[in-house]
Amino acid sequence: MTQLVKPYGDTQNDGKVQLSFTLPLEWSEAADEAARRLAGKMGFTDVQVVDGRKIATGYSFFVLYASTPQAVDVDSIAPSSERTHAMSMDEIDALIEERIGRKIRVAGACIGTDAHTVGIDAILNMKGYKGDYGLERYHMFETFNLGSQVAVEELVRFAKQHRIDALLVSQAVTQKGSDIKNFTQLSELLEAEGLRDDVVLICGGPRVTNRLAGELGYDAGFGRGTLPSEVAAFIAVRLAERRRDAARR
Amino acid sequence: MTQLVKPYGDTQNDGKVQLSFTLPLEWSEAADEAARRLAGKMGFTDVQVVDGRKIATGYSFFVLYASTPQAVDVDSIAPSSERTHAMSMDEIDALIEERIGRKIRVAGACIGTDAHTVGIDAILNMKGYKGDYGLERYHMFETFNLGSQVAVEELVRFAKQHRIDALLVSQAVTQKGSDIKNFTQLSELLEAEGLRDDVVLICGGPRVTNRLAGELGYDAGFGRGTLPSEVAAFIAVRLAERRRDAARR
Amino acid sequence: MELKIDRECVARCRELAAAIVAPVEAFIAAHSTVSVERAALRLLGVDGVTPEEIPIPNAILDALPERQRPAGIALAFGKALAETGLDPAALGEAMALGRYSLTEFTETPEGAARGALRPHVESGLERISGQRQARSELLERLPQLPPPLLYVIVASGNIYEDRTAAVAAAEAGAQVVAVIRSTGQSLLDFVPFGPTTEGFGGTYATQANFRIMRVALDEVSEKLGRYVMLTNYASGLCMPEIAVMAAIERLDMLLNDSMYGILFRDINMKRTFIDQHFSRMLNAFSGIIINTGEDNYLTTADAVDQAPAVLASQFINEEFAHRAGLPDRQIGLGDAYEINPDLEDSFLYQVAQAQLAREIFPEAALKYMPPTKHMTGDIFKGHLIDAMFNLTSVMTGQRIHLCGMLTEAIHTPFLGDRSLSLENARYIMNTARHFGDEIVLRPGGAVELRAHDVLTGCEALLERVAATGLMNAIESATFADVSRAPEGGRGFDGVFERAPEYFNPFEEALRGSLTAVSS
Amino acid sequence: MELKIDRECVARCRELAAAIVAPVEAFIAAHSTVSVERAALRLLGVDGVTPEEIPIPNAILDALPERQRPAGIALAFGKALAETGLDPAALGEAMALGRYSLTEFTETPEGAARGALRPHVESGLERISGQRQARSELLERLPQLPPPLLYVIVASGNIYEDRTAAVAAAEAGAQVVAVIRSTGQSLLDFVPFGPTTEGFGGTYATQANFRIMRVALDEVSEKLGRYVMLTNYASGLCMPEIAVMAAIERLDMLLNDSMYGILFRDINMKRTFIDQHFSRMLNAFSGIIINTGEDNYLTTADAVDQAPAVLASQFINEEFAHRAGLPDRQIGLGDAYEINPDLEDSFLYQVAQAQLAREIFPEAALKYMPPTKHMTGDIFKGHLIDAMFNLTSVMTGQRIHLCGMLTEAIHTPFLGDRSLSLENARYIMNTARHFGDEIVLRPGGAVELRAHDVLTGCEALLERVAATGLMNAIESATFADVSRAPEGGRGFDGVFERAPEYFNPFEEALRGSLTAVSS
Ligand code: B12
Ligand code: B12
Ligand SMILES: Cc1ncc(COP(=O)(O)O)c(C=O)c1O
Ligand SMILES: Cc1ncc(COP(=O)(O)O)c(C=O)c1O
């Protein structure tokens, strides 16, 4: 069964959407009309330019309401995240103890020129995030927080030296794709150094999605609102699986 | 020469647009993903669902930023309005005196069940709008303001009785197309009564555009921010033209 | 917050309001209207429509010969009850099908007719006090959040979409939901029947629609553990009948203004005065909070200039309400945040006006309306104007807070708009919850001066009205710049003078019970 | 607005700040850094890059033998000037091409070297005072709008897009435009050269970029009839050099904090203290308003807890600034609106903190930073939080107002975001323009109590710091919960002790002139 849904204004399937954008045009009635046509080209119907005004010489800002004919099939969407295994800190520690039998060594850093450590700190520090303790608080994690603006080369060197099991890297600055650039550099360097399979490689940041992480060759990616336990659980389960698979061979 | 323009975020042609809408879905990561795909289907690229949250049982609200590949050719757009002739009150009075030689009889009303008279009053009353005097203030207009919730039959009867030259009708309530319904009723009734060609037929309201008016068989339509003098000028010029054409025959 | 005002001036304004209303009340006592009579039939239990879709109360009244009108419908109907032995509902149905006509029942003496009516009058009133009782129990068990009570409108035109929207709004924090009427209903001299799914700019007010919403809101109230109130509109040609329907279906508030219909809908003033009185007696008895419509003065004229008129109207509405037995806590006097937002220090003027009302009507359930006139398609700025309105409301302790919509200039609220609007109110009122308690307005400062000007302006206005009399004052366009003739406007033909033998069983009953209630 | 505070406690805090800063100043006087020396070269007129893209000031200094460093670069360079007869710019170029090396000039006696430097020292300083003069004339002729001065950032990474954005912002009401630096520039031990079009999260601070912006803003200033100010960032490894470039290109403000680099960029503390002193002397002389970075304390830790630390940092920044000759009107002490917006009465705490700073630093050009940490993808709510920030700013009379962006959590501002942000500030500050003058905070009320707690908390903190000394206090993580070692962090190798014969012609000149200026 497929369930098609459309945006809802005040009536099922009216498809109502609000838009706003700037056009590099001096404001005039013709500019309003340009905005209307542009929305038409985007495929919207019943387009209303409810506000259009000059915001600077040669620039106008518009607010529109319109209907979209598009619908999306929600049943085809599998939750795209790794936040699946809801486990408590103790359960996770227990799992590691039993299935791995030793502490997991985790290293985290804010790579490239990015200095936004609050996010990675929220995952690693004792304190944690929103009442959910960070990895340092777990018995079965040994964590190294390398902090901000860490060069990927340095991080890889560190991982080798300290036989790290899981690498956690964060990027908050996404402008001009700098986050993708840095994430890619890291995974490529790990490949080159033949270390990729020795670590669980995880990225995160406000704009990260698990899909993106997959595309970049990471084991998982975590976005806004991530809780440390979700990450801890993922690492533990993933490593346990690897153990098992290794054992099988 | 055609000038193609795209929305401007912080770089020429980045095509950045902000969207928001409600989906009839319980919030979850999958709902965020549904919003992302929906925007994809609308033809947007680089889609970021920057906010997604539950607003009620079975409903979620989303804010997105994305890029549109669409561009619009602005040179192909002629200013679609009748606000073309910028004339002062005196110039208009003079023009009427000279080209028509008698007062123009104008009747205005808020038709159907619509009681929003502020708009039509702004055009007709002495006081006018934004410092621009209303038609009552002109020497060469004789105005009748029939007020609110006037049935179209009544208006047509009145027009016949008082040999009205120009009919001005207003609609502010647009829900479920009630404005279109009422506007259409009026023009059809005028046709039926064989009066259509005897009057300059003008509609107005916050959601009216001159294009819409044309489609509905009106001589002109005026939207948000209209000034009385713009309307006065249009009526005077249009009637003068008709005179001339009539004379030619 | 503290604001010093001239208490003597306030006292004088109240005296003037009393002087203005007294003669009108005398007139009211000597007259009735078709809507009052139909309301009596509804209270007796008559409902439904004829095969021609005419509401049965209308059909019955229209069948009453002109000459009998002055006596009221009750006696004639009572005779029919006595002679047919049917109950009012059944009798109504029968008459609708033409089985009986009012004129055939002549035998029964007045006394017997009154007797036949009595049980139905009692059960009619019991039904209402039952609902009043139910409401207070629910409020006990499911207490509301502290005021300002967040109030939103639904207006899709389709009662079932409205229900969806109302439940969603309640979950998002709404404490009161109002269903906006379709445009034009207030000009109908009958109340539509049954559930409706078509309407323009709003949804028809029918008893069935009232019930559908009440059921849905009771459900969500239980789920949320707080009682969610329901509101609709009375003012118009059918004020008394809507008051009956609202009482029966346990609405909690009704828009009910003593002059709105006259000024803004060109309804005859005599008709309106008589109707508002009877409907307000019912509101009082059923524990319904009335909302007056002073906000309307500000939508057509400048809000700075109109401030004294708004206050004057509040005094007059208060007086009419008291005369109908409404206690202060059931009087939701209106005001609105309609000063041009681009006026320097406009926020100060708004605070002055809002706090002034708070000081003058300390017990009243002040109803604060949002910015509407100056809202534009710029939804981002509109959201900010609403925020300053929210701040003013929590600072000045308004009781009923009608949440503004960022899309006010565009469409009747979308589900998402309402959620953003409630988010706005919740955020502002929480972050500045006790700000009002923390500040003292500088004595002799701009705010105090503004409040003083408004108050003295109001006194002057009331003096003029008292001098000419309310009806003449309205005719000479003293309010909202519109002139209405005492015998002009819609529905005047529905007004009639009472004969000595005029009888309306409910009026008596209500008058008796009310003194009790209002204390 | 009125807020009662404990004046004695404030006086004690100032004494403590003086006690804390004194020993650090002694240390500063005995040392210099590579950046200070390069700044001296730039002041003499040296600029440009070598064929290997190395900035010539770096190339020259790197060529100076270790053992000569303690004497400073000036003398060595002066000898070269004397013997080559070239002017500093030409000499720099020549050295860049390897035509001369610093080591070959040994003949010239010190006196002659100083003599050769003198004219260039004078012309260097004249160039700067010329710009200072130009600024005051422009401000005369093109007066700014009343404060709070609306300040926006541009950060596209491309200086030409930034220029477009800056001009648009100015037209939309911005009075100050800051170009955010690319991430990481503050960790470079040199200043990039030439116009740049690539950067991450910001645009490189280069002298060419400064000029491009200045020209564009001067143009729009003339068009608008009001002077639009330009801002960039000094704090980092090149504070003194950026101070020189800013002075030459007539920037009006510089982000310049005495501890930011240490705490938030892990730059060595000794390096930072020495650099901030010399750069601030230059800022003072060039009439540039510094902006300190207290807001940074609030982005990583809870704003309610950190309030005393913020105030303590303000006292310390003030003391360092005074010691460098900065008058109060050039000291833009920072604070930010970062309390959790969902905390009940958070608005009251914000008002308390903002008014407290206003009372303690009456003459300072307080710089108020917008909510950032608690901004989310919900742009509609974000816009409201910014509105309450705008209201607090105008109520408490802040001087420099950094406009918040509804898209703070999403991207560096779009052109349209900036326009909405300015619309927000303009609306709120106009509608509530004189609200602050109208209100008195209730004595003994929550706001007054909160302000008192913050002040006493600050005093306690300063006492602890005074006891251990600033450097140790930083090592034991007294500020922002980060610990930095006195000899740790970036750029320590660029610090050196001055030899007795150390000579920096500008330091002397500035010290002399400053007492004059700052009065
Ligand atoms: C705090 C902050 C700063 C602080 C950083 C202090 C510090 N030590 O971290 C300071 C003031 C230093 C700063 C500076 C700058 N910042 Co800043 N900053 C922010 C701010 C306000 C909040 C970020 C934050 O702390 N969020 C809270 C954390 C908990 O959320 P989070 O990062 O999303 O992390 C969660 C998840 O994403 C996930 N997660 C994150 N990382 C990881 C990693 C792993 C492995 C996992 C599993 C999960 C995970 O888990 C976390 C908990 O749920 C944002 C705006 C905003 N409101 O988001 C701007 C912002 C990120 N900064 C920005 C920029 C550009 C800068 C500057 C370049 C200049 C400027 N505009 O200020 C400088 C340069 C800094 C640099 N070199 O990188 C931009 C980035 C724009 C973009 N999209 O490219 C933003 C969005 C602001 C803006 N709109 O301009 N900033
Ligand atoms: C004032 C007002 C009222 C007043 C009307 C008083 C009166 N006598 O006019 C009152 C309070 C009575 C009222 C009632 C209702 N209103 Co009302 N009202 C408004 C409000 C706030 C302002 C309208 C206004 O006066 N604009 C100012 C004038 C000057 O602008 P204008 O109408 O656009 O006119 C200009 C141009 O359009 C043009 N123009 C207009 N007409 C004409 C005609 C001609 C011939 C020409 C040439 C030009 C022209 O020239 C004018 C000057 O530039 C709007 C919201 C808003 N901010 O827009 C809602 C609004 C129009 N109302 C609305 C509704 C639904 C109602 C109600 C049905 C219930 C309710 N939600 O309140 C009732 C029923 C009224 C009825 N039966 O029609 C909706 C309509 C939704 C929709 N798009 O369908 C709106 C948009 C509010 C909302 N979001 O719900 N309303
Ligand atoms: C007091 C009062 N009654 C009724 C109404 C609604 O009347 P109508 O249904 O005629 O729009 C309003 C609308 O503002 C009002 O203020
Ligand atoms: C005082 C101060 N200096 C400099 C900066 C910018 O430093 P960076 O370029 O390292 O991000 C900031 C940023 O917040 C600051 O507050």
Taking contacts as CB-CB distances below 8 angstroms, the residues of chain B near D408 are: none
Nearest Cβ partner for D201 among A117, A175, A206? A175
Three-class SS string for chain A? CCCEECCCCCCCCCCEEEEEEEECCCCCHHHHHHHHHHHHHCCCEEEEEEEEEEEECCEEEEEEEEECCCCEEHHHCCCCCCCCCCCCHHHHHHHHHHHCCCCEEEEEEEECCCCCCHHHHHHHCCCCECCECCHHHCCCEEEEECCCCECHHHHHHHHHHCCCCEEEEECCCCHHHHHHHHHHHHHHHHHHCCCHHHCEEEEECCCCCHHHHHHCCCCEEECCCCCHHHHHHHHHHHHHHHHHHHHHC
Selected for mutation to probe chain A from C203, C378, C421 (highest A CB count within 10 Å) is C378
Question: What letter represents residue D144's amino acid?
Answer: Q
Chain A residue with Cα closest to C166:
A10
Q: Find tokens 């000759």 and name the residue.
A: D325
Separation CA C187–CA C181 (nearest Å): 11
Average confidence (pLDDT) over C439-449:
93
Ligand 4 atom nearest the C-alpha of D187 is 10
What pLDDT does residue C121 have?
Answer: 97
Alpha helices in C30-72 (DSSP H): 34-44, 56-63
CB atoms within 10 A of CB C22: 13
**What is the Å distance from ligand 3's center to C152 Cα?**
15
Task: Please report which confidence band the pLDDT of residue C1 belongs to, taking 50, 70 and 90 as the band edges.
Answer: confident
Buried-exposed string C341-360: b where 16+ CB fall within 10 A, e elsewhere: bebebbbbbbbbbbbbbbbb
Taking contacts as CB-CB distances below 8 angstroms, the residues of chain D near B6 are: none
For residue range D232-266, what is the model confidence (pLDDT) as tens digits?
999 999 999 999 999 999 999 999 999 999 999 99
3-class secondary structure, C369: strand
Helix (H) or strand (E) holding C133: helix C110-141
What pLDDT does residue B80 have?
Answer: 56
Instruction: Say if the Cβ atoms of A51 and C378 lie within 8 Å.
Output: yes
Pairing of β C367-369 and β C334-336 = parallel
For residue range A109-150, what is the model confidence (pLDDT) as tens digits?
999 989 899 999 999 999 899 999 999 999 999 999 999 999
The question of whether D367 is a catalytic residue gets the answer yes
For residue range C234-253, what is the model confidence (pLDDT) as tens digits?
999 999 999 999 999 999 99
Instruction: Say if the Cβ atoms of C200 and B175 lie within 8 Å.
Output: yes
Instruction: Say if the Cβ atoms of D415 and A56 lie within 8 Å.
Output: yes
**What is the Å distance from ligand 1's center to C130 Cα?**
59
Q: Is the CB of D185 under 6 A from ligand 4?
A: yes
Positions of B marked catalytic: 127
Pairing of β D31-33 and β A4-5 = unpaired
Task: Please report which confidence band the pLDDT of residue A81 belongs to, taking 50, 70 and 90 as the band edges.
Answer: low
Closest approach of D240 to chain B, Cα-based (Å): 31
For residue range B155-188, what is the model confidence (pLDDT) as tens digits?
999 999 999 999 999 999 998 888 999 999 999 9
Separation CA C199–CA D371 (nearest Å): 44
Selected for mutation to probe chain A from B10, B74, B80 (highest A CB count within 10 Å) is B74
**What is the Å distance from ligand 3's center to C292 Cα?**
9
Q: Is the ipTM of this complex over 0.90?
A: yes
Q: What is the DSSP letter of C413?
A: P
Q: Is A55 on the interface with C (CB under 8 A)?
A: no
For residue range A175-214, what is the model confidence (pLDDT) as tens digits?
888 899 999 999 999 999 999 999 999 999 999 988 899 9
CA C439 from centre of chain = 34
| C contact set with D (CB within 8 A) | 341-348, 378, 380-381, 383-385, 387-388, 391, 406, 420, 423-424, 427-428, 430-435, 437-442, 445-447
3-class secondary structure, D192: coil
CB atoms within 10 A of CB D407: 25
pLDDT of C499 > 70? The answer is yes
| A contact set with B (CB within 8 A) | 5-9, 12, 16-25, 28-31, 33-34, 37-38, 41-44, 48, 59, 68, 70-72, 74, 77-81, 83, 207
Average confidence (pLDDT) over C398-414:
97
CA C46 from centre of chain = 23
Taking contacts as CB-CB distances below 8 angstroms, the residues of chain B near C299 are: 118
CB atoms within 10 A of CB B249: 4
What pLDDT does residue D388 have?
Answer: 98
Of A76-80, A182-186, C293-297, which range is least confident?
A: A76-80
D47, D227, D270, D367: the active-site residue: D367
Task: Please report which confidence band the pLDDT of residue A246 belongs to, taking 50, 70 and 90 as the band edges.
Answer: confident
Instruction: Say if the Cβ atoms of B70 and A42 lie within 8 Å.
Output: yes
Q: In tens digits, what is the pLDDT along chain B, a chain of 249 residues?
A: 578 999 999 989 999 999 999 999 999 988 999 999 999 999 999 999 999 999 999 999 999 999 999 999 988 886 555 565 679 999 999 999 999 999 999 999 999 989 899 999 999 999 899 999 999 999 999 999 999 899 999 999 999 999 999 999 999 999 888 899 999 999 999 999 999 999 999 999 999 988 899 999 999 999 988 999 999 999 999 999 998 888 887
Q: Is B63 on the interface with D (CB under 8 A)?
A: yes
Nearest Cβ partner for C377 among A9, A16, A63? A63
- CA neighbours within 13 Å on the CB side: how many for D148? 36
Chain D residue with Cα closest to C350:
D431
pLDDT of A2 > 80? The answer is no
Taking contacts as CB-CB distances below 8 angstroms, the residues of chain A near C382 are: none
| Residue located nearest, by CA, to atom 10 of ligand 3 | C186
What pLDDT does residue C519 have?
Answer: 40
The token pair that represents D21 in the structure block: 């800063």
3-class secondary structure, B56: strand
Q: Which pTM value belongs to this model?
A: 0.96
Buried-exposed string D297-330: b where 16+ CB fall within 10 A, e elsewhere: bbbbbebbebbbbbbbbbbbbbbbbbbbbbbeeb
Positions of A marked catalytic: 127
| Residue located nearest, by CA, to atom 42 of ligand 1 | A204
Q: Is A118 on the interface with D (CB under 8 A)?
A: yes
Closest approach of C162 to chain A, Cα-based (Å): 8
Task: Please report which confidence band the pLDDT of residue A29 belongs to, taking 50, 70 and 90 as the band edges.
Answer: confident
CB B66 within 8 A of CB B47: yes
Burial of C222 (0-12, 13-18, 19+ CB in 10 A): middle
Closest residue by Cα to residue C254 from C305, C308, C316, C326 = C326
Instruction: Say if the Cβ atoms of A20 and B22 lie within 8 Å.
Output: no
C-alpha dihedral (D110, D116, D120, D122), degrees to nearest 10: 70
CB C495 within 8 A of CB C111: no
For residue range C103-147, what is the model confidence (pLDDT) as tens digits?
999 889 999 999 999 999 999 999 999 999 999 999 999 999 999
Q: In tens digits, what is the pLDDT along chain D, a chain of 519 residues?
A: 889 999 999 999 999 999 999 999 999 999 999 999 999 999 999 999 999 999 999 999 999 999 999 999 999 999 999 999 999 999 999 999 999 999 999 889 999 999 999 999 999 999 999 999 999 999 999 999 999 999 999 998 999 999 999 999 999 999 999 999 998 899 999 999 999 999 888 999 999 999 999 999 999 999 999 999 999 999 999 999 999 999 999 999 999 999 999 999 999 999 999 999 999 999 999 999 999 999 999 988 899 999 999 999 999 999 999 999 999 999 999 999 999 999 999 999 999 999 999 999 999 999 999 999 999 999 999 999 999 999 999 999 999 999 999 999 999 999 999 999 999 999 999 999 999 999 999 999 999 999 999 999 999 999 999 999 999 999 999 998 889 999 999 999 999 999 999 999 999 899 887 764 444
